[in-house]
Amino acid sequence: MATAVYPGSFDPVTFGHLDIIRRASHSFEHIIVGVLHNSAKSPLFSVEERVKMLKEETKTLSNVDIESFSGLSVNFAREHGAAVILRGLRAITDFEYELQMAQTNRVLAYDVDTVFLTTSLEYAYLSSTTVKEVAGFGGDIDKFVPPLVAEAIHQKMQRRKGVINH
């Protein structure tokens, strides 16, 4: 299989995302991770910060590139000549939304298909949202994200607290 795009928020990247990227890098010639610039959400990290962290954490995977994008995933895929959108599936709760998105994308772009990789068992529970919640309450996030990402989350949280306390 040739090129796949892997779109998402990645706010921030977790071991779950990295596991999907690493495994998919064995099956696809080229993976382009697309960091979504979504003005409707208020992310913890800017798109630039998310791209930088992903670049750092995937630097040993030579067929993986990281880019930001806005708009539709199918357009992002087409712009890169990718026939596949890659997504990760954790649980039934992901399935309903992901199925709906995949079917919508199929109607929008018949030439682009969605391929799912199921989560590795050890990361089945893991989401960026829960990592931020745990960190917000001072919990240990070392099992969820790489050290550089954990450090970046702690710094953001500190800065936010500083802003609130002043």
Q: What's 30's DSSP letter? A: E
Cβ closest to ligand ADP, residue 69 vs residue 123: 123
Residues in region 50-109 near ligand ADP by CB under 6 A: 87-88, 90, 94
Under rule CB under 6 A, residue 119 binds ligand ADP: yes
Q: Contact, 32 vs 6, CB < 8 A?
A: yes
Residue from the set 33, 53, 126, 145 that interacts with ligand ADP by CB under 6 A: 126
Give me the helix-helix angle, 147-165 and 47-57, nearest 10°.
160
Cα separations in angstroms, 112 against 4, 34, 80, 85 = 10, 15, 11, 7
What would the two tokens of residue 4 be? 């796949």
Under rule CB under 6 A, residue 123 binds ligand ADP: yes
Residue from the set 17, 44, 51, 76 that interacts with ligand ADP by CB under 6 A: 17
Active site residues: 17, 41, 90, 128
Under rule CB under 6 A, residue 43 binds ligand ADP: no
Classify each residue of 125-159 as buried b or exposed e, where b means 16 or more C-beta atoms within 10 Å of its C-beta.
ebebeebbeebeeeeebeebbbeebbebbeebbee
Stretch that binds ligand ADP, among 21-29, 46-54, 123-131, 148-156 (CB under 6 A): 123-131
Q: Contact, 153 vs 44, CB < 8 A?
A: yes
Under rule CB under 6 A, residue 12 binds ligand ADP: no
Under rule CB under 6 A, residue 37 binds ligand ADP: no
Provide the binding-site residues for ligand ADP, judged by CB under 6 A. 8-10, 14, 16-17, 20, 87-88, 90, 94, 119, 123, 126-128
